[in-house]
Amino acid sequence: NAGVTQTPKFRILKIGQSMTLQCTQDMNHNYMYWYRQDPGMGLKLIYYSVGAGITDKGEVPNGYNVSRSTTEDFPLRLELAAPSQTSVYFCASTRQGTTEAFFGQGTRLTVV
Amino acid sequence: KQEVTQIPAALSVPEGENLVLNCSFTDSAIYNLQWFRQDPGKGLTSLLLIQSSQREQTSGRLNASLDKSSGRSTLYIAASQPGDSATYLCAVIAGSGNTGKLIFGQGTTLQVKP
């Protein structure tokens, strides 16, 4: 099984550009999440979804948007990229809210 | 607001030593606690999941305990090996609904020297 797959693995953006980070899972999990990890820090929740068509903000949602049109996919959209969005982004999924979380390999984003 | 703390931030031990990593959280109302391993430049790998009704979980040389009343969890690694070198993260699901939102500590970076 592929688990949680994120693309791209690396990306450099210029200030003001936009991009979409892709996340797909093949485990038929209802719950999906986007986290960011800054150097020396723990992960912080950006957005999450408890099922197709349902999304909600996490701790640090400003500057991001998400959609969940299918169970498998949960893309994260960055509009007007800023240097503060330089980070490593992780997508995760769980079958239910209190079960084991599975993470993708991450997308390392640099905004210059 | 739930906060998760891991001390120490870094730890270096000789191969073969038994060691304990610590995780503390401020609000005892949690659904579960999960320990992860993160290798440099990689994603997170789940090591152990302890439900709020459990006291400990074991997997091979790893044993995780949970004491909700004191807001603490420990990850015990027996007979450490150089391959155990990584960053270890703990995370809790706070008791604010069954949404699975994880609150992470900053991690402990472990180096096991041959």
Q: Return the residue of B nearest to A101 by Cα.
A: B46
Distance CA A92, CA A100 (A): 10
The closest alpha carbon to B43, from A4, A75, A2, A87, belongs to A4
Per-residue pLDDT tens over the stretch B10-46: 999 999 999 999 999 999 888 899 999 999 888 999 9
CB of A1 within 8 Å of a chain B CB? The answer is no
φ/ψ of residue A43, rounded to 5: -80, 145
Distance CA B7, CA B23 (A): 7
CB of B95 within 8 Å of a chain A CB? The answer is no
Per-residue pLDDT tens over the stretch A20-78: 999 999 999 999 999 999 987 889 999 999 999 999 999 999 999 999 999 999 999 99
Q: Residue A5: what residue type? A: T
Partner residue facing B34 (CB), from A4, A44, A101: A101
B69 falls in which pLDDT band (50, 70, 90)? very high
Q: What is the dihedral of CA A81, A37, B100, B8, to 10 degrees?
A: -160
